[in-house]
Amino acid sequence: MTTDLKNSPVQTETADQMRKELTVLKERINSQQDMLERTTGFMSQIQSSLEQSKQKVEEKNKETFDSMRYAERLQQAILPSCDEVNKAFIDSFIYLRQCEIIGGDLAYFIEAEDSYFIAAIDCTGHGIPGAMISMMAHSLLDEIIMQHLVFDPGHILTELNRMLFSALNGGKKEIKDGLDISLCRVHKDTKKVSFSGARRPLLHLSIGASELIKATRASIAENPDSTFETIDIEGEGKNKFYMFSDGIPDQFGGPKGKKFGTKRLVSLISEIKMLNMKKQSEIITNTITSWQANEPQIDDNLIIGFCI
């Protein structure tokens, strides 16, 4: 006797169960597909939003870069030209390499009555803030020398200190940045040099002698009551003078990753002092570039040399 299982209750129940499971599985697949489609759409929106944001950032970066390039041209416009400085002295050079597009190191030169005034300005900051303060100092120096007719370097820096402190702080010590500076007055007729410095020295080289003349140990705009000393220098024959910011001495590099140092810079200049100023500038540039190697530049670099 045989049993027909074709429409048995067990088979019917199994088929129903399978249909239910298939229905649930389809629903899950449909749900997952729907979720995938929504996720894909959401991701597409995010990607589109990111691309728009990226485009806006790139446009803003370009605007900022273009503005800084224009600011660089403005800063360079007030820098003394080599021809201008060379007309005043037997020989000279100005080496300036900013850490960023614009910076806080600035060379200054002006002719007033019987004298030339030349200075190396070194703002304690760099980049845009440093550039703004240095250009303020440049403008104030013009005012002090050309309008107020103050010619003594110590008096010039004392007045610059008072005016810049007032401009930056309005009588309150709110802005920490100031600047260091070395300033020389060169008398046209006598060739006597009068020097005053705010934390930046003057290197004087003459036949058979060298002297690093120290500056007053106070920064400009640090204390409104600071005063600055004037040192008169007289020498026979060709005298060479060098002013520099702290960027080169503080630059890390070399085989042991140490600072270049003021002593090494003075030694280098003393070794090459018999060369013309253009050649000296090239040697100094190549030396500091080689010293720095793969180390990042940490500050603006400025050095001025002139011979009378």
Query: What ranges do the domains of the chain cover?
Result: 8-77, 79-307
Backbone angles phi, psi at 189, to 5 degrees: -80, -50
pLDDT of residue 235: 64
pLDDT of residue 15: 73
- Tens of pLDDT along the chain (308 residues) come to 555 545 566 667 677 777 777 787 787 887 778 777 777 777 788 887 778 777 777 777 777 667 767 677 777 777 888 888 989 999 999 999 988 888 889 999 999 999 999 999 999 877 788 888 999 999 999 999 999 999 999 999 999 999 999 988 875 666 677 899 999 999 998 889 999 999 999 999 987 778 999 999 999 999 999 999 999 997 666 799 999 999 999 999 999 999 999 999 999 999 999 999 999 999 999 999 999 998 999 999 999 999 99
Does domain 79-307 correspond to CATH entry 3.40.47.10?
no
Query: Taking the alpha carbons of 258, 126, 107, 225 in that order, is the dihedral positive or negative?
Result: negative
- Judged on CB neighbours under 10 Å (0-12, 13-18, 19+), 77 is exposed
Q: Are strands 231-233 and 301-307 parallel, antiparallel or unpaired?
A: unpaired
First to last CA, the chain: 133
Res 37: pLDDT = 78
- Residue 10: per-residue pLDDT: 63
The gap from C-alpha 3 to its chain's centroid, in whole angstroms, comes to 98
250, 117, 195, 106: which is closest to 204 by C-alpha?
195
- Closest to 227 measured CA to CA, from 154, 168, 163: 154
Judge whether 201 and 214 are in contact, CB under 8 Å.
Answer: yes
Spatial separation of the C-alpha atoms in residues 85 and 206, rounded to whole Å: 20
Alpha carbon 293 to its chain centroid, in Å, reads: 18
pLDDT of residue 266: 96
Can you say how many angstroms the Cα of residue 204 is from the centroid of all Cα atoms in its chain? 27
- Fill in the amino acid letter for 153: P
For residue 235, what are the CA distances in angstroms to 53, 66, 306?
64, 48, 14
